[in-house]
Chain A
Amino acid sequence: MNSRQSRHLAFAGLFIVVTVTMLLNISIVATVSNETKQMFDYLDGLPERSNIIVSFDHEASSLPEMKPLGLVILRHLFAKDHNLIGVALLAEGTGVGYRLMQETAKEYNKEYGRDYVFLGFKPQFIAAILSMGESIGGTFPEDYLGNTTSEIELLSDIHNYDDVAAVVSLADGSLTTHWIEYGNEKYGVQVSAAVAASMLTTYDPYISSGQLKAMVGGLRGAAEYENLLGIGGSGARSMLAQSSAHLYIILLIIIGNVTYFRSRKKG
């Protein structure tokens, strides 16, 4: 078997493992980690009807991982009756963010313009974060739907970060760092994050230093958060598949190492 065939075989094996475990349709109750509990407690402890910026700082390609995270965060925030201001610092996050907010708002009978608003995308994320610190309305003269922001009820008392209790950055890359460096460091706004698993190690030091209030990450984080909220979702539904996929990968690593050492011995 050549390397190309063995690669295809490894992928095909993963495909079978994931498909079979998902067809079993078993939701696993994930044990809640300290990080996820900290994020839940932080958002849960914000005063009712706090103004919160939810920033969709991810691309469409990471949607399978970011959607479950975004949904649990939005559900929690809407359930606590907070005022949500959606923004996107990446162009691809615009449509995704609006759709997620709209879907979740419907579940909680929230009204656009009164309970939540989506301001859309602003290019040059550093300039956008800094500009919102001066004036949110000035940075976004119009919302995503083309409404003049000065005429939106929700934004009548929200001028800049002084009127915002927290920023939740939904990120698959390093954009949360910019919220920390410019939003938190310069304007003092509290930043928390829901990030792709690949970014967890990047943001860990910011949790230790207190620059990031709390963080939840990956599909596992979404499943744990669903557990804390007491709702089901794609996070919990996918946990068995994820655990099986991890076991499969560990098995491949063992097989790979054994094969490598045996071939070295022979030759």
Chain B
Amino acid sequence: MDPGTIVAGILTIAILSFLYGDNPVYKMAETLLVGVSMGYVLVITWTNTLMAVLFKPLFVESQLWLVIPLIFGLFMFGRFHKSTSFLSRYSMAVLIGSGAGVAIPAMLGARTLRQMTATVEMVQGDSFMMIFSGMVVVVGLFSTLSYFYFSREHEGIMGRSARVGTYFLMIFFGTTFGYTVMSRVSTFIGRMDFLLSDFLHLTN
């Protein structure tokens, strides 16, 4: 058997031993998982980010403009000392400013305008079911929005609308929770599939 499969099998059993209770074997596997994951991400970040994008182009290919992001990056370490912590604000300002500049137009287009268009288009559908679905979506949209509108007391029509909104929210949370449980069960089944077929050869 492949050594990787043996190690993975033993570690899977170690994690499943939590069913018996919190124990040293489980703790060892849990710590190992965190350590290996961090180590892996660190190596990938070092080779794919710092070396490939910064150090190699700057020091080997002499792309001198990369000194600017290097300095901003070093500023972030200023947070470790009180007297230099203000330096990190410059880096954060660049990071948040450029991030917002890139994200806001894209999110406004993709998440707001396109979604609003799709909501209206559904109401103009060509079949009864399509129009009905569209109407449900519109009612859900406005009632949920009214639930999150806090500038006016939730009384009268506003209160009733907000109440309908909570039903829509509950349906959404319920569905999402159901799918999340399904997802976690799938993860467990996947590990059991590995244990029973690849590791123990009890199934095909």
Contact = CB atoms under 8 A, between A and B. Distances in A.
Contacts of B41: 91-92
A263 interface: no
A15 to B, nearest CB: 6
Interface residues of A, number: 60
B118 A209 contact: yes
Interface in A178-221: 180-182, 184-186, 196-202, 205, 208-211, 218-220
A219 B192 CA distance: 14
Given A126-B102, A181-B111, A241 B175 contact: no
Contacts of B192: 18-19, 22, 241
Given A91-B41, A218-B182, A241-B192, A64 B187 contact: yes
A64 B188 CA distance: 8
A91 B36 CA distance: 13
A219 B110 contact: no
Contact of A211 (B21, B110, B186): B110
Interface string B114-150: 1101100010000000000000000000000000000
A242 interface: yes
A76 interface: no
Contacts of A202: 176
A8 B21 CA distance: 8
Nearest to A144: B48
A201 B176 contact: yes
A202 B185 CA distance: 19
A220 B182 CA distance: 9
Interface string B78-122: 000000000000000000000100110011011100110110001
Interface of B: 16, 19-21, 37, 40-41, 44-45, 48-49, 52-53, 99, 102-103, 106-107, 109-111, 114-115, 117-118, 122, 172, 175-176, 179-194, 196, 202-204
Q: Tell me which of B16, B21, B189 has the highest count of chain A C-beta atoms within 10 A of its own C-beta.
A: B189
B187 A201 contact: no
Given A219-B186, A234-B190, A241-B192, A126 B114 contact: no
Contacts of B52: 141-142
Contacts of B19: 8, 11-12, 15
Nearest to A210: B118
Contacts of A130: 102
B50 to A, nearest CB: 10
Contacts of A64: 186-191, 193-194
